[in-house]
Copies of this chain bind each other. A is one copy, B any other.
């Protein structure tokens, strides 16, 4: 099998073209692939469709940077701070550009991805009855007392995990949101990880492997790649970073300064990491899972 380990820049360059439908932030407030998202901005990607459940600031940043054509999500903002100012500017004033919005709920975006994973046109659900979302989203319809949610097929899923091996067998833990269906529904998966480990680690627990390796096209070793979102066992959430972003992004000018300072003026994530006090966020404790014996004789 060809090696899949590469730098973030190469992974984004090769696997996320302009116009792509990209699933990211699939574990909700945790394991958000900020490093991968910032690389999309540095690469000047355009006309992307972003797919996710709730998005904690990263969607807002990609919208503000002008990368986004369409939002297919349940919620876009800043979870601990409230509104997404770039999202508002784009939706209300077409700044920096107009965006198309396909509203979902957390449940319906999950079902849309399961539909794609199962290769059916749509799946039925009990949610969304009586909600205006069935009128605004052209991919959701009501019939026979159920909603029918059309499949959403990402070209690529960007997923940050605690550890993965060189062939893309990824271990993630903590709440996983819609990560599994996003990966199964996607044409290909780009893994970014805190630790690049030997397959003796990943294969020791095949039940914790998230995805079929056959869908994983790239593995990027990017410690801290989810900052400021938390990573169970590795990093706490950087609440103040979200607070600062909310304040700075309130105006287009403030956002432009934020973008230069934290993305455009930096060559890569390693440089970004040097500019934050990561040690204050690092998890130092140890609360290890009880081992499971996979022996066969």
A171 is an interface residue with CB less than 8 A from chain B: yes
* A297 cross-chain contacts in B, Cβ below 8 A: 236, 283-285
A240 contacts chain B at the CB level, 8 A cutoff: no
- Give the shortest distance, in Å, between A105 (CB) and chain B (any CB): 14
Contact B284 A293 (CB under 8 A): no
Report if A6 contacts B (CB, 8 A).
no
Please pick, from B122, B287, B293, the residue contacting A294 in the complex, using a CB distance under 8 A.
B287
Given A123-B123, A287-B296, A288-B293: 17 more A-B contacts, CB < 8 Å: A120-B126, A123-B124, A171-B290, A201-B290, A202-B290, A205-B289, A205-B290, A232-B293, A233-B295, A234-B293, A285-B297, A287-B293, A287-B295, A288-B292, A289-B289, A289-B291, A291-B291
14 A-B pairs, CB-CB below 8 angstroms? A118-B126, A120-B124, A202-B290, A204-B288, A205-B290, A207-B208, A208-B208, A236-B296, A283-B296, A287-B293, A287-B294, A287-B295, A289-B293, A291-B291
Question: Which A-B residue pairs are the 6 nearest by beta carbons?
Answer: A233-B293, A205-B289, A285-B295, A288-B291, A287-B295, A289-B292
Q: Is A270 part of the binding interface, using a Cβ–Cβ cutoff of 8 Å?
A: no
Q: Are A233 and B125 touching (Cβ within 8 A)?
A: no
Please give the number of chain A residues whose Cβ is less than 8 angstroms from any Cβ of chain B in the complex.
41
Beta-carbon contacts under 8 Å, A223-282 to B: 232-234, 236
Residues of B within 8 A of A119 (CB): 126
| B residues near A176, Cβ cutoff 8 Å | 207
Query: Which one of B118, B123, B124, B208 contacts A289 once the chains associate, using CB atoms below 8 Å?
Result: B208
Q: Which residues of A contact B (CB under 8 A)?
A: 118-126, 146, 162, 171, 173-174, 176, 197, 201-202, 204-205, 207-208, 232-234, 236, 283-297
Query: In the assembled complex, how far is the CB of residue A206 from the closest CB belonging to chain B, in whole angstroms?
Result: 8
Complex Cα distance, B203 from A287, in Å, reads 11
Closest to A124 in B: B120
Assembly CA distance A293 to B118 (angstroms): 33
Question: How many copies of this chain?
Answer: 2
Give A171 to B197 CA distance when docked, in angstroms: 25
- Asked if residues B296 and A285 are in contact (CB atoms below 8 Å), the reply is yes
* Contact, CB under 8 Å: A204 / B284: no
Quick one: given A124-B120, A124-B123, A125-B120, are A292 and B204 in contact (CB under 8 Å)? no
> Which chain B residue shows the least CB distance to A232?
B294
Complex: chain B residue closest to A111, CB-CB: B118
Q: Give the distance in Å from the alpha carbon of A201 to the alpha carbon of B289 in the complex.
A: 8
Min CB gap A106→B, angstroms: 14
Distance in Å: Cβ of A221 to nearest Cβ of chain B: 17
Query: A71 CB to closest chain B CB, in angstroms?
Result: 25
Q: Which residues of B contact A125 (CB under 8 A)?
A: 118, 120
